[in-house]
Structures are given as C-alpha cells and as structure tokens.
Structure 1
Amino acid sequence: MKTIALIPARYAATRFPGKMLADLAGKSVILRTYEAAVSTGLFDDVAVVCDHDLIYNEIVSNGGKAIRSKKEHECGTDRIAEAAAEMDADIVVNVQGDEPFTKRAPLEKLLQVFQGPAGESVEVASLMQVLTDPGSISNTNFVKVAIDLNGNALFFSRSPIPYHRNQEVKPVYYEHIGVYAFRKKTLIDFTALPVSPLEAAEKIECLRYLENGIRMKMVVTDYMGVEIDTPEDLEKATRLL
C-alpha cells in the first residue's frame, strides 16, 4: 500500500493565531512537525497543506514540500482531502500541524490496523492515550473518547466520558489524539458529508463519521509530547525540547 502523510496548517488558529510559525527552540512549530513526520521513514510522500503563503514559504524555503489550498476549508480533514484527491495513495495519514513531537512508533501502530484480512474492513483509524490526571479529564480542551470492546469509537466528547457514577468501578479515560489514517476514498467521501448535529455541538469533526455510521478504529499509544494549542503549550514544548 502506498502511504502518504498530509499536514493541514491554518494560519489563523482561534486560540493561538499564527502558532504554526511560532518559534519553538529555533524552528517554527510547523517545520518541526514536518521534519518529525519525514524522519519516521513510514511515508512515500509528506506534505504540508496550508492556507497561507507564509506557511507555504516556511516549508519550501527549508527544502520541504507544501501544497497551497485552492479554497477555504472548514476543517483540516477537508483541507487534506482536496490535496489527496490529486495524489497517488492508498492510505492518507493526517498529522496535525501542531504536533512537533510526532514519533514513528505510534504511527506505525496506527498503520498496522489496515493490514491483513481484519484490516480490510478498516476505513478510518485514529490514536488515543490514557488520561489519569483529573484536571485533564475535566478539561474541555482535552477531547475524550469512549470505545467498544473491539476498540472502535463509540463517542467523542469534551465532557468526561464515561460519567463516573459507580465509585466501585474505575473507568479508563482516553484522550483522543488528532492523528488519523484514512483510506483515500473514505477521506474524499468525508468532504461530501454535511456538518452533523453532534459535531456542531461539540466542535469535534470526527463525530461526523460516527453520526454517518462509519466506524473509527482507535489505537492506544503512549504520550506523544505536547499538542500546541495555546502560548502556554508552546512554553511547555520548549521546556520539553
């Protein structure tokens, strides 16, 4: 299977405008993310798909590959779908532009679910990690996911799920990590689906799959670093580096 990684990058992020070009220990956030994706060695092609010339020039001037979106998009998935439609690929991995600590092992584990007879039925897969800190579990910036016994997503929410009513039971809380792998056709078909009611309420685009009856396979991984949503995250990432 031919596998590519596409990195959606929007300049005017709501919580941290211009974060893609913010300095992270001498390099921009988006350049570090691009280089991290390339260094995994998992992909036949890697490209940043962006909406702004500043991001495009940042990648190209540093020897990378960037694609300028042809139109405005509501979400990162729509952005990479436009680019993927014109590329030769079987599996498309969406690596978020604010994930500069992207590692090989979690992505390799994600891609493995598409292999073998069992993998033939997998259309979309994504990563998650165990949450143990009560503050993170209740934090609405952390998207939580509940799964079935086969590891498929049941629901995504910014609220803590499941609700811990029975104190004799110790539920496992999972944080959804916004790294996806799609079969190319499934990715392109996604763009034809209208924004769904639960997606609109929670502002979580992967709910659109579930509301349209498309299963999403979830893969547990270890902590992937720091996702940069705020200036405080940038400071944390700088210390981690």
Structure 2
Amino acid sequence: MKALALIPARLDSKRLPGKLMMDLGGVPLINRTYENISATNLFDKVVVVTNSKIIYNSIIKSGGNAFFSKKKHRCGTDRIAEYAIKSPNDIVVNVQGDEPFVETECLKKMLELFENDTSKKIDLISIMNNLDKNDFENKNKVKVLINDKFDAIMFSRSIKTLKEIYNNVNFIYKHVGVYGFRMNCLEDFYSSKPSNLEKKENLEQLRYIEKGKTIRMIKTNYSGFGIDVMQDLIEARKKINA
C-alpha cells in the first residue's frame, strides 16, 4: 500500500497572518511540520503543497519536497488534491501545516485501519481526542459528534450545535485536523462544490458529511496542537524548548 503525506500551506492566514513562516525552534513553523511528518518514516513521500513562493523556497532550500500550486483553492483538501491526482497513491494523508507535533502513533493507526480494511468500505479517516473543559467554548477547537461505530455524525465549532443533535457529551470529542483519504474519495471531494454547512461552519469535512458519506474516526492519545493564534505559537515554543 503506497501512502503519500501532503501538507497544504498558505501564507495569508486570517487569524495569524504569516504564521507558517514564524520561528519555531530555529526553523519556520511549516518546516517544523514537514520535518516532523518525514521523521515518522510512514510515507513513501511527504510534500508541502503551497501557493506561496516564500513557503515553497523555504522547504526546497532545506532539502524537502514542495509543489507550487498555481490554482486558487477553496480549502486545504482541494489544494492537496491538485497535486495528488497527478501522482496517484493508494492513500493520501492530509496534515495541516500548522500542526507541528502530530504523533507517529495516530498516523500509524490510520494507515493500519486502511490496510486492514480489505473490502475498502472505509475511504476517509480522521482522528479525535477527549475534549478538555477549556475546549468547550473555544471556537478554534473543532468538535465532532460520533455514533457507536465511531463514524462522524456532525462537526462544529460550537458544542451547543452538537448537543442539539444528541445531548450526550460522551459522544462528543475534539477533532484533530488530520485526514486519510483513499484516492477515489479525494478525487470525489475535489470534483464537488462546497456545501452549505461547509460554508456556514468553515469546515471542509462537512462537504463529505452532506454528501451522505462516512468519515471513520480514530481515538488517539494525540490531542492536537494547531497554531491558530499567537498564544498557541507561544505555547509551541515552550514545548520545543522544554
């Protein structure tokens, strides 16, 4: 089974502009993320897919793999799909550029689930962790409501929205923005238009939910460490220097 890790990256983040080129332990954040995923040795290739010449040059100069995306994309998954359809693999894993500490364990679980699914009924997998009390009202932390099969029912930035569907916090978790796609699933996503829920919540995974598809969730020990605001970057620097 061939597996490709793709890291979508853009410089014009709304909440923390230019964050991917901000220093984290002596290298830009995007380089830190790239190095972390490469070090897992789980993938046949790791590539940063970006529309920024600054990010592209930063990865190339450090000896990494980067693809310059000339197209305008609606979300990170659309961006990686532009590269993936030119370089077909069995599995494509989408790792957010602002997640520098994704752990090997959760990526390994994801790939093992795909490999063991010989009937290929599962074509999209993502990861989750227990919600911390501080995450309940934090709209930067995406929540996911699951069923007893660990399939996602709904994603939202608001826990209230999920409770209105099913008022049991035991089925609500913190979503971590790492996705594993079978190639046909990624192509299907790329060819479809953004859904109403996707635009309302600004969550690309809702496009797939609204299409009536299944996202299998894996519970892991990795709680996510996305860099959304400056305080997140400060905490990440503390973690690096600890």
The bucket for the TM-score relative to the shorter chain is over 0.9
- Aligned twin of 1:191: 190
Residue pair 1:198, 1:207 contacting (<8 A) in 2 also: yes
1:1-241 residue pairs with structure 2 within 5 A?
1-117=1-117, 120-133=120-133, 135-160=134-159, 162-163=162-163, 171-241=170-240
What CA distance in whole angstroms lies between the structure 2 residues aligned with 1:128 and 1:119?
Answer: 24
What CA distance in whole angstroms lies between the structure 2 residues aligned with 1:107 and 1:96?
Answer: 13
Residue pair 1:131, 1:172 contacting (<8 A) in 2 also: no
What CA distance in whole angstroms lies between the structure 2 residues aligned with 1:166 and 1:90?
Answer: 35
What CA distance in whole angstroms lies between the structure 2 residues aligned with 1:67 and 1:165?
Answer: 41
What CA distance in whole angstroms lies between the structure 2 residues aligned with 1:165 and 1:94?
Answer: 28
Residues 212 and 165 of structure 1: is their aligned pair in 2 closer, same or farther, counting only changes over 3 Å? Answer: closer
How many pairs align? 239
Q: Secondary structure at the match of 1:146?
A: strand
Instruction: Read off the aligned partner of 2:137 and give its amino acid letter.
Output: S
Q: Secondary structure at the match of 1:209?
A: helix
Instruction: Read off the aligned partner of 1:139 and give its amino acid letter.
Output: N
What CA distance in whole angstroms lies between the structure 1 residues aligned with 2:234 and 2:132?
Answer: 22
Distance apart, 1:129 and its partner CA:
0.7
What CA distance in whole angstroms lies between the structure 2 residues aligned with 1:156 and 1:24?
Answer: 30
Residue pair 1:124, 1:186 contacting (<8 A) in 2 also: yes
Q: Secondary structure at the match of 1:191?
A: helix
Residue pair 1:103, 1:224 contacting (<8 A) in 2 also: no
What CA distance in whole angstroms lies between the structure 1 residues aligned with 2:89 and 2:118?
Answer: 20
Q: What TM-score comes out, normalization by structure 1 length? A: 0.94
Distance apart, 1:132 and its partner CA:
2.7
Residues 224 and 101 of structure 1: is their aligned pair in 2 closer, same or farther, counting only changes over 3 Å? Answer: farther
| Ranges of 4+ aligned residues in structure 1 off by more than 3 Å | 164-167
Q: Give CA deviations for 1:151-187 in whole Å, capped at 9, x if unaligned.
A: 10000011115429999x7635311111000011210
Residue pair 2:88, 2:183 contacting (<8 A) in 1 also: no
Residue pair 1:130, 1:172 contacting (<8 A) in 2 also: no
Distance apart, 1:222 and its partner CA:
1.2
**Coordinate RMSD, CA, aligned:** 1.9
Distance apart, 1:111 and its partner CA:
1.3
What CA distance in whole angstroms lies between the structure 2 residues aligned with 1:105 and 1:227?
Answer: 17
> Structure 1 stretch 102-111 or stretch 158-167: which is displaced more?
158-167
What CA distance in whole angstroms lies between the structure 2 residues aligned with 1:113 and 1:17?
Answer: 36
Unaligned runs of 5+ in 2: none
What CA distance in whole angstroms lies between the structure 1 residues aligned with 2:117 and 2:105?
Answer: 22
What CA distance in whole angstroms lies between the structure 1 residues aligned with 2:126 and 2:169?
Answer: 24
What CA distance in whole angstroms lies between the structure 2 residues aligned with 1:29 and 1:188?
Answer: 29
Residue pair 2:144, 2:153 contacting (<8 A) in 1 also: yes
Q: What TM-score comes out, normalization by structure 2 length? A: 0.94
Q: Give CA deviations for 1:56-91 in whole Å, capped at 9, x if unaligned.
A: 000000000000002111100000000001113110
Residue pair 1:114, 1:120 contacting (<8 A) in 2 also: yes
What CA distance in whole angstroms lies between the structure 1 residues aligned with 2:9 and 2:126?
Answer: 19
